Structure 1
Amino acid sequence: MRSLRILFGVVLLVAASFCGFVLTGDMLAATDPAAGNRQRGETALVVQTRPAELLCFAETVEAVGSTLARHAVTLHPSASGRVDEVLFSAGQRVQEGDLLVRLDDAGARAALASAEATVAEAETAFARLERLQTTGSVTEANLEAARATLLRANAERDLAETVLRDRSLVAPFDGVVGLSDLARGQLVDSSTEVTTLDDLSVIQVAFAVPERHYARLQRGQAVALTSPAFPDRSFTGTISAMATRVDQTTRSVGLRAEVPNEDGLLAAGMFMQATLTLDEHEAPAVPERALSVSGGTSYVHVVRDGVARRIAVTTGRLRDGMIEVEGLEPGAAVIVTNLQRLSDGDPVEIEPLRQVEAGQ
């Protein structure tokens, strides 16, 4: 008898649980009018859409580099002596051939004057012997000796001119001179550093990229450059030279980019962030939030004739919240809201996209 009572209680408990489950399902269905209406085809799901855009996507590689002057040199005197004049100041722009430093040259000028007098003497003697030779009064040997004397005199004059030139230091090219501690009256020699001279009209940026990009590198490619010194400005350069060897330690390829610097903002030795564009192409793009993923495949839902259609796409690069997709036509109305409640073939009603969301 006791067993019958236990069995009867179990049956009642199972029956109560089943009834509760059925009632709960009915109540949930009743509280989801959108689902019930869609099943009966009475009401469409309200969604917002955004057209697929045709955007330009670029494949880039980033690197860090340093700036170099197009031409740079440390200037030294060509001779020893005492500084007579310093004719430049730090930061001054100079032209090729401008005099920067003059050493005491009194002795060199005297030596040149003496050499020029010797040349004049030798020329007069040689001319006299040439005239006498026509009358037979001078032997050929005497004339040749006079010619040799004249050649030696000319050589000594040329040497004196070179010595005098070495008493002056001139700019070898157009550029900007750097700092200097040189003072008038200072004794210098060929090892003394006078100053630096940099041609900053064009700045070179030296950087390196991984070896795997070697086949896609060429002169003339565009490079975008930024510097911590000018955080709100971007500079544009082009590849002017590339190394013919791959560095065996870093497995990278050295590159040089040239950047116009007419305004003189950039200096040699600055840190630069370089972005090299390897490829550019246009492709359809959708907001990243419009993507759904199932089983490793990406999908988007588009509106066609008032019905949501699921389309498989292949994704690519990201740009400002937009993702490149393959398999979708530009201009397609891509659904961007209520994706979790949406299925292929569901009727939908398009709600205008709010201004804030449209700008995203």
Structure 2
Amino acid sequence: MRAVRAVLGLVVIGAAGMGGLWLTERLLAASEPVPVAQGAAAPLRVETIVPPLVTFADAVTAVGTARARQAVDLLAESGGRVTRIAFEPGDRVEAGAVLLELDDRAEQADLKAADATLAEAQAAFDRQQSLNRSGSASDAAYQTARAALLRAEAERDRAGVVLEDRSLRAPFAGIIGLTDLVEGQVIDTATPIATLDDLSVIAVDFSVPETLLPRLERGQRVDLASAAWPGRTFRGAISRIDSRVDAATRSLALRAEIPNNDRALAGGMFLQVRLVLDERQRPAVPENALTVEGDRTLVMVADGGTARPVEIVTGQQQDGLVEVVSGLAPSARVIVTNLHRLSDGTPIEAVAPERRVEAAAPSGGGG
């Protein structure tokens, strides 16, 4: 029995070995590549663009404070009782307009007395002048009459100035501010009456680093933004450049002026300032069209029916576009899609970008 069992074991082992050899051959045969027919690969469909010319600017930002081109706190030249307030807060007044009148009865009387004295002095001078010409009066009497006339004219002029000081006039055209005065109130020369601002032009003072001095000149464009007017840009120009650099901050003070015909800006407002130092037009490519390899920046361009990498020098970024300083031919067509599937020499079929129209949001009333 032991012999039979040994024989059967040998038979089983031999059968397993033969089966293993057969299975191995089948697996090796299945792993070998099956030759396929060689043919031209289908070109890859890509979208290309001609880089548009975009305006780029070298600019510096700062913060500034707005003020009226002309602004003054109005004060009376003399004290007294207010008889007339000739303005309403917020009124626009012209230069020379009467704003306030004080009780001037005493000054009117002084002016009349000065006029009478002047008339007497004039008559006396005329009489002495006639006598002097005929030789009937001395030169001393003539000179005395002339001096009296000059003093009378001076007193008349003084009385006229004092009377004029009983009324307040606008020194320039502008907008009147708030006032707390009432008619009948007694004021002195230190009593604030109102403010007057010429808001037709707004001046904005700001500072920039001293290193920019060689690039500054009058007339350079300034763009300003205010939190009070989101999305609106106010455009002006540099009108003044300070002659000294601040030794503490190493900065240079500038002043810009902005037309303000609609009175959108007011004195004291905080403004964001963008001073444009230089503008230029350069080709620009979308940011997603760039590939960075170490210190090299590449774009893929369509060269006939193949893709070719081109090294470029880039500049500023603006609204998703990157400035191309050099390296790109004006007629080059830059590939903007399927970039991850491209390499040097990949066959391509270049097409214009498809227009993608976003669906407009439905309009409707708010709940």
Matched-pair contact (CA < 8 Å) for 2:225–2:273: yes
RMSD of Structure 2 on Structure 1 (CA): 2.5
Aligned positions of 1:141-180 closer than 5 A: 141-180=140-179
Q: TM-score, normalised by structure 1?
A: 0.86
| Pair 1:328 & 2:328 matched | yes
Could you tell me which residue of structure 1 aligns to residue 84 of structure 2?
85
Gaps of 5+ in 2: 1-23, 359-367
Aligned positions of 1:292-311 closer than 5 A: 292-311=291-310
CA distance in 2, matches of 1:140, 1:157: 26
Q: CA deviation at 1:357?
A: 9.1
CA distance in 2, matches of 1:53, 1:123: 85
Q: CA deviation at 1:348?
A: 1.4
Could you tell me which residue of structure 2 aligns to residue 284 of structure 1?
283
State the number of aligned residues. Answer: 332
CA distance in 2, matches of 1:52, 1:129: 96
Q: CA deviation at 1:221?
A: 0.7
CA distance in 2, matches of 1:143, 1:252: 67
Residue identity over aligned pairs, in percent, reads 49
1:176 aligned partner, one-letter code: I
Q: CA deviation at 1:194?
A: 0.8
Matched-pair contact (CA < 8 Å) for 1:54–1:282: yes
Query: CA 1:26–1:192 in 2, change beyond 3 Å: closer, same or farther?
Result: farther
Cα deviation, 1:140-161, whole Å, max 9, x if unaligned, reads 2122111111111111111111
Query: CA 1:26–1:327 in 2, change beyond 3 Å: closer, same or farther?
Result: farther
| Pair 1:112 & 2:105 matched | no
Could you tell me which residue of structure 1 aligns to residue 346 of structure 2?
346
Extract structure 1 runs of 4+ deviating beyond 4 A.
Answer: none
Could you tell me which residue of structure 2 aligns to residue 33 of structure 1?
none
Gaps of 5+ in 1: 1-15, 31-35
Q: CA deviation at 1:245?
A: 1.5
Secondary structure of 1:194's aligned partner:
strand
Secondary structure of 2:136's aligned partner:
coil
CA distance in 2, matches of 1:276, 1:337: 37
1:277 aligned partner, one-letter code: V
CA distance in 1, matches of 2:182, 2:106: 21
| Pair 1:67 & 2:52 matched | no
Matched-pair contact (CA < 8 Å) for 1:64–1:273: yes
Q: CA deviation at 1:132?
A: 2.2
CA distance in 2, matches of 1:132, 1:286: 99
1:350 aligned partner, one-letter code: A
1:334 aligned partner, one-letter code: V
CA distance in 1, matches of 2:270, 2:277: 22
Cα deviation, 1:24-53, whole Å, max 9, x if unaligned, reads x979xx9xxxxx99x964222332222222
1:83 aligned partner, one-letter code: V
Could you tell me which residue of structure 2 aligns to residue 8 of structure 1?
none
Cα deviation, 1:115-156, whole Å, max 9, x if unaligned, reads 100010011111112222334332221221111111111111
Q: CA deviation at 1:352?
A: 4.8
2:332 aligned partner, one-letter code: A
Cα deviation, 1:282-323, whole Å, max 9, x if unaligned, reads 112111111111121011110111011111111111121111
Secondary structure of 2:109's aligned partner:
helix
Q: CA deviation at 1:351?
A: 4.7
CA distance in 2, matches of 1:51, 1:134: 99
Query: CA 1:26–1:229 in 2, change beyond 3 Å: closer, same or farther?
Result: farther
Could you tell me which residue of structure 1 aligns to residue 15 of structure 2?
none
Matched-pair contact (CA < 8 Å) for 1:85–1:103: yes
CA distance in 2, matches of 1:139, 1:259: 68
Could you tell me which residue of structure 2 aligns to residue 355 of structure 1?
355
Matched-pair contact (CA < 8 Å) for 1:53–1:331: no
1:145 aligned partner, one-letter code: T
Could you tell me which residue of structure 2 aligns to residue 201 of structure 1?
200
Secondary structure of 1:179's aligned partner:
coil
1:329 aligned partner, one-letter code: A
Q: TM-score, normalised by structure 2?
A: 0.84
1:293 aligned partner, one-letter code: V
